[in-house]
Structure 1
Amino acid sequence: MKWNAQRYEKQHDFVFKYGEGLLTLLPQTAHTVLDVGCGTGDLTDQIRQKGFDVLGIDQSAIMVDEAKRLYPNTKFQHQDILTATSSATYDVVFSNAVFHWINDQDRLLDQIHNLLNPGGYLICEFGGHNNVAAICNAFGQELEYLGINYQNPFFFPETTSYKQLLIEHGFQVLDITDYDRPTVLHDGIDGLANWIKQFFQADLARLNEQQQATVLKNMTVKLQDQLWREDHWEADYRRLRVVARV
């Protein structure tokens, strides 16, 4: 996945804005925080402003460079959580809208467990079961019409199964909740196409320009009744929120 940091800030800022609610869950007894998948650093900087010693990491060097430019007083590093090696440990591992990009959840949770101090917290939110189901299903159908096998790249777990996975990796689950969160997409009629170009870019790259244009046009027509609201698209987001402890 290649990210355009400026486009992300402008067109997909709902990602970190909706994540601001997670900040209220940070325990005041904590001191050190690791923000996994910090993106352009907006939430990381807010954590710093709340008085925590925070480090933001992201596997995208482009995102980290933009975060450093926007928030020079906040610490950021270019790191992939799955391969990160550090002697530092933290009171909280925090993450917003990231875990659904990671299919190797066993490795992810082992890494997080190792990075937490005894009694430390995992506080995260990401896509839950049936997140953006209408969009994913429509996109898969369009690729199938073109004779292309589509595999949903996201990890959108059910609440019960993810709770069990956390327990198996040594976490005490304090709270786990899934909920619908309809999400307004920016840029009016172009909002859906812009979202697809960002989040399905790897699959779109398999198509020529004409095929891409056809897919985007067909999806706009197909999803109009479900997701169009007078002057904007409203994506069918469903989230999973976790507070757990080691």
Structure 2
Amino acid sequence: MPLICESLAAVPAGNSHGGSIITHAWNPKDYGQHSAAQQAWAHELIAKLALAGDERVLDLGCGEGKVTAEIAACLPSGSALGLDLSCDMIAFARERFPSEQYPNLRFIEGDMLDLPFDEEFDVVFSNAALHWVPDHGRVFSGIAHALRPGGRILLQMGGRGNAAPIMAIANEMLADDPWRKLFAGLAPSYAFYGPEEERELLEAAGLTPLRAELIGKDMAFDLPDGLAGWVRTIWHLYLKPLPEDLRPAFIEEVVSRYVERFPSADGRIHVPMVRLEVEAVRDPEP
């Protein structure tokens, strides 16, 4: 499989979850500094795996590698493989977790829409990645081929309604100049699925859904700078269309409008998040 590292294109408004993977020029260090919530959610998700210690695990959208390394630490007789489309993320992960020190941990560049594996894994895991991929059906088909019979998947991603209040503010801004001209009136769209859609796609891929549910989470920041760092690091679909010199102004306006509109009693800034958590299996062979 060719390893792909491309510039992204935003998904148009009204996207029906079709199309190719959304990839971006990620900054691994910046992401690491502004992804504490994602790390905490990943830690909770890993606990739900209840690993025996001898499994072979595939982590899709592994990013800078710290979650995959946490999984590998639970596998004294197994191994973990992290896959990500970002060249920068994979380079950072390999440097931070060298194979000499982590012999059961590897990282490869690759596209989760074109998984090259054939019955190689006991578990497929993913945290905070699949909302970048409009075509979940194609991902699930690749997972079904990657799993051994009886293998299982546990995935968590942004789900329907994720970060809705702050994204509504950003979308309001797109009706005003100078943003209106730059976005041509189209609001970016992430692949935030609901449970019903995921179940249908899992079944179509030959997987048996065990659970698909939306889970509310709270993302909290002590200062507006923290919220701004999260927007700067994560909001590629909103920032990519903007000239680089206008991005700080866009971020500042999003943050200031949100803080003004949603004050909190404890003085912190809270963003309501919705995660879609999915658990399924590949049925054992008869």
Q: TM-score, normalised by structure 1?
A: 0.90
1:164 to 200, 210, 229: 200
Q: How does 1:25-104 map to 2 (within 5 A)?
A: 25-28=48-51, 31-51=55-75, 52-72=78-98, 73=102, 74-87=105-118, 89-104=120-135
Q: Residues of 2 paired with 1:68 and 1:136: CA distance?
A: 34
Question: Could you say what secondary structure the match of 1:82 adopts?
Answer: helix
Say which is worse superposed, 172-181 or 26-35, in terms of deviation: 26-35
- 2:139 aligns with one of 100, 105, 108: 108
Question: Percent of aligned positions with the same letter in both sequences?
Answer: 26
Q: Find the residue that maps to 2:262 and give its secondary structure.
A: helix
Q: Does 1:3 align with 2:23?
A: no
Structure 2 spans left out of the alignment, 5+ residues:
1-23
Task: Tell me the secondary structure at the aligned position of residue 114 of structure 2.
Answer: coil
The Cα of 1:212 is off from its aligned counterpart by 3.3
CA distance in 1 between counterparts of 2:252 and 2:203 reads: 44
- SS state of the match for residue 236, structure 1? strand
Give the aligned residue type for 2:25.
K
Post-superposition Cα deviations, 1:96-141, rounded to whole Å, max 9, x if no partner, equal 0111000011211111111111111011101111001112111111
| Structure 1 residues 217 and 53, CA gap change in structure 2 (3 angstroms) | closer
The residue identity in structure 2 corresponding to 1:175 is R
Tell me if structure 1 keeps the 8 A contact 2:137–2:202: no
RMSD: 2.1
Equivalent runs, 1:1-246 vs 2, <5 Å? 1-28=24-51, 31-51=55-75, 52-72=78-98, 73=102, 74-87=105-118, 89-146=120-177, 147=180, 148=183, 149-185=185-221, 188-208=223-243, 211-224=246-259, 225-226=261-262, 230-246=266-282
- Are the structure 2 counterparts of residues 70 and 46 from structure 1 closer, same or farther at C-alpha, using a change threshold of 3 Å? same
CA contact (8 A) 1:172 1:245 kept: yes
Distance in structure 1 (CA, Å) of the matches to 2:236 and 2:131: 16
User: Which 10-residue stretch deviates more, 126-135 or 79-88?
Assistant: 79-88
Preserved CA contact (<8 Å) 1:101 1:153 = no
Distance change (3 Å), C-alpha of 1:105 and 1:227: farther
How does the TM-score come out when normalised to structure 2? 0.78
Mapped to 2, the partners of 1:229 and 1:37 lie a distance apart of 36
Match of 2:21 in 1: none
Cα distance change on mapping 1:189 and 1:229 into 2, 3 Å: farther
Size of the alignment, in residue pairs? 245
- Which one is further off, 64-73 or 203-212? 203-212
SS of equivalent residue, structure 1 residue 145: coil
User: CA offset at residue 144 of structure 1?
Assistant: 2.1
CA distance 1:61–1:214, shift in 2 (3 Å): closer
Structure 1's 157 and 75: CA in aligned 2 closer, same or farther, altered over 3 A? same
Which range is displaced more, 108-117 or 137-146? 137-146
Q: Structure 2 CA distance, aligned partners of 1:20 and 1:39?
A: 15
Mean Cα displacement is larger for which, 145-154 or 45-54?
A: 145-154
Most deviating of 188-197 and 27-36: 27-36
1:76 to partner: Cα distance:
0.9
1:43 alignment partner, SS class: helix
- The verdict on how the C-alpha distance between 1:56 and 1:229 changes in structure 2, with shifts beyond 3 A counting, is farther
CA distance in structure 1 between the aligned counterparts of 2:36 and 2:51, rounded to whole angstroms: 27
Question: What amino acid sits opposite 1:85 in the alignment?
Answer: P
* Cα distance between partner residues in 2 of 1:38 and 1:88: 20
Stretches of structure 1 lacking an aligned partner (at least 5 in a row): none
Shift of 1:200: 2.2
